[in-house]
Structure 1
């Protein structure tokens, strides 16, 4: 897909990028159009005029913006239908004409080429899943060509969210697949399915916790199981000690570990824990990563102390380099709407409620966040018929997800003092 993006950029400026001068031309054009300084050396590396490195998200997003898309992922998801048809035809031909050995060889060759490998893999896995060819799916995910480190983060998100939806609709527990590091990193840890903790995803987490001994995966699955306990009205424990303060761990994982700690911390000690966390991660901390899961927990548990701390402590910057952080910011808007309704502050409440967009959330968090949003909408509604409609929608969705925490009383009493 990066190859296609490069071609589209060349079409935009009307010339091939084949020299330093061409790179300078493109750099200046981007500066003029977007007021973003993308160095010509970065462009030289991207187009193979210098030793190449994997382009970062900022570079890809800038080029996508330059040709008229919102982000690189927006470009990936909306490139020409004819390109998708050609790609689909390649997949169908491979599935129908290749044996397993030939398919593996074809995948390796394609990864080395400049074709849209992530989209090919998504279509291929979907086709193989439809054919119930789990043996070949396992072989594919064990290839080094599917390693997490071989993709940009935007590509991983595209793969994870596109393939992850398959498993929500078709319960599937393959023990070999769940031991594949590539599958864990690209699918399980990317498509965190909050709608299915009492279904396939919870079963996955339980199995992985018992059989995969990678430290961060162990921490993740344990935190997920504790969160599942909360949703099922069971007692939550914090087995992590000080892991949330470990600066070597993934920031979003840290936020999960801190969320569990907050759930079991006495109210008068919460600010002490939060201040220590903020001080520990102050050089790198931002809402988008280190506070992501805490925002969700604060809304869910009506924790005004945590909400207030995040609003007052975390410096907000709407000009995020990474597109996925905008979805994190969207969740922050929802938390602010809750907080300012609880305080109350009608002006701020209305401002953040308007900023929040239920459609701008992760697929894997969609139903879970919709339940929380319905709680807010119910309390904010004035007419009885509107309230009844929202309550009915909430009860149907709550039954579907089967989390006892989201009871009828939870909705009716959330905003009551």
Structure 2
């Protein structure tokens, strides 16, 4: 990057029309920057960058501001524009990596840099697909090793990188020929890191009766740890409920949950409430509801903790507890200090619509429903399962028969894709009917 620092100095001198050789020259440049509204680069910073006083490596802010003075978005944008062969180099490097028998530290450094620069996991997912096609399982597994890719964390909480990677991997898995899928399934699932960063991150509920379900079944046959076993038991129980309306019991002692990820603990309590509802056991419902609330503290990631819990409450049509969550946790999750995604907004709005509708606030429910952005929640996306609830709610809120029929058809299409026998027309029609 040093050569680009020198080019940046030369380009700025060309723009201002004079060489910066003295403090007087640096002050003149400072005046020009101030005239453009740049108050963040001091005279001493400019003197250091031009080597007029003892210097150190310029920080990213300095480089970005000077690049913006030249009309670029950032220093990275400046570098890309100067290096016309940049993309050619990346493409050639990718072709080289695809045919290596084993990736090396420098190769992973290249992949990490591409993600930092473009915020895209395409390079990694492309290498994964190629490794799988060649059945190069060493390279495929190495791409899920946190020591190689530092964006992977040593737990199953969802990060932006892992969510993107898991999503693209399952798009690939769901599209390969059936015979090829059957041939690679065991090799994929035998890799613990693949299970942690794909199977347990991208919970593909729509495909529980298809390839994702087959992958889950394969994982259940392995020698797995307590955390994985709990996840698999809960997913198996959810699948059975969606297919039959009944569910197997899943029980763990409270102390056994202490060191598990928030998202998994939330899933566990959600399942326990759903199971108690199915069994007609209000005492058990109240007990696990209280356990769920008591376990929250200032270290709990509310987004992760609530997400899987909420969709179990929606399946149970537990409007009273949904209303409590909506009232209690909306502001903490959506305040300006916490990151959230459109899925969070979509989910809380669905809850709000359900609660409003069942409270008789039909107009409010219709207004919120119409503001939902389906461009960001599509079939085949990370959160397509919630389209089932969207179609059910749309059916009940429809103001015309044409709208009602449209939502009913969308619901039927999704239930046909998922093959969930629980989700028939009768389920849709009674979903928002309170006792």
TM-score of the aligned structures, taking structure 1 as reference length: 0.71
Distance 2:327 2:130 in 1: 48
The 8 Å contact of residues 238 and 247 in structure 2, kept in 1 or not, is answered as: yes
Matched with 1:140 is: 142
C-alpha distance in 1, partners of 2:360/2:233?
36
Q: 1:123 to 1:88 in 2, by over 3 A?
A: farther
RMSD of Structure 2 on Structure 1 (CA): 4.2
Counterpart for residue 126 of structure 2: 123
Give the secondary-structure state (helix, strand or coil) at the position aligned to 2:299.
coil
Q: Which runs of 5+ in 1 are unaligned?
A: 15-27, 30-43, 50-66, 70-78
Q: Secondary structure at the match of 2:209?
A: coil
Larger Rg: 2
Structure-2 residue corresponding to 1:387: 404
Contact 2:189/2:219 (8 A) holds in 1: yes
Aligned counterpart, 1:149? 153
CA distance 1:296–1:45, change in 2 (3 Å): farther
1:331 to 2:347 alignment: yes
Q: How do 1:357-368 and structure 2 match up within 5 A?
A: 357-361=373-377, 365-368=382-385
Corresponding residue SS for 2:433: coil
Q: Distance in 1 between matches of 2:239 and 2:347?
A: 20
Aligned partner (choices 339, 346, 352) of residue 362 of structure 2: 346
1:407 corresponds to: 424
Match of 1:107 in 2: 107
- The answer to which of 144-153 and 351-360 deviates more is 144-153
Equivalent residue for 2:295? 280
Instruction: Give the Cα–Cα distance (whole angstroms) in 1 for the partners of residues 364 and 268 of structure 2.
Output: 30
Identify which of 393, 406, 416 aligns with 1:376: 393
Spell out, residue by residue over 1:257-311, the C-alpha distance to the aligned partner (whole angstroms, 9 max, x if none). 0111101222354234222321221333464121111211222231223212312
2:237 to 226, 232, 240: 226
| Distance of 2:59 and 2:166 partners within structure 1 | 27
- Bigger relative contact order, structure 1 or 2, given CA contacts below 8 A and separation 6+? 1
Whether 1:319 and 2:321 are equivalent positions in the alignment is no
In 2, Cα distance between equivalents of 1:390 and 1:157: 29
Aligned equivalents of 1:411, 1:289: Cα separation in 2: 28
In structure 2, the gaps of 5 or more residues are 13-38, 41-55, 62-71, 75-79
Q: Partners in 2 of 1:183 and 1:364 — Cα distance? A: 20
Aligned residues: 355
SS of match in other structure, 2:174: helix
Cα distance in 2 for partners of 1:314, 1:277 equals: 14
Q: Deviations over 1:367-392 (max 9, x none)?
A: 32111101111111121122222212
Distance 2:370 2:142 in 1: 44
- Report what 1:263 is aligned to: 274
Separation (CA, whole Å) in 2 of partners of 1:277 and 1:84:
52
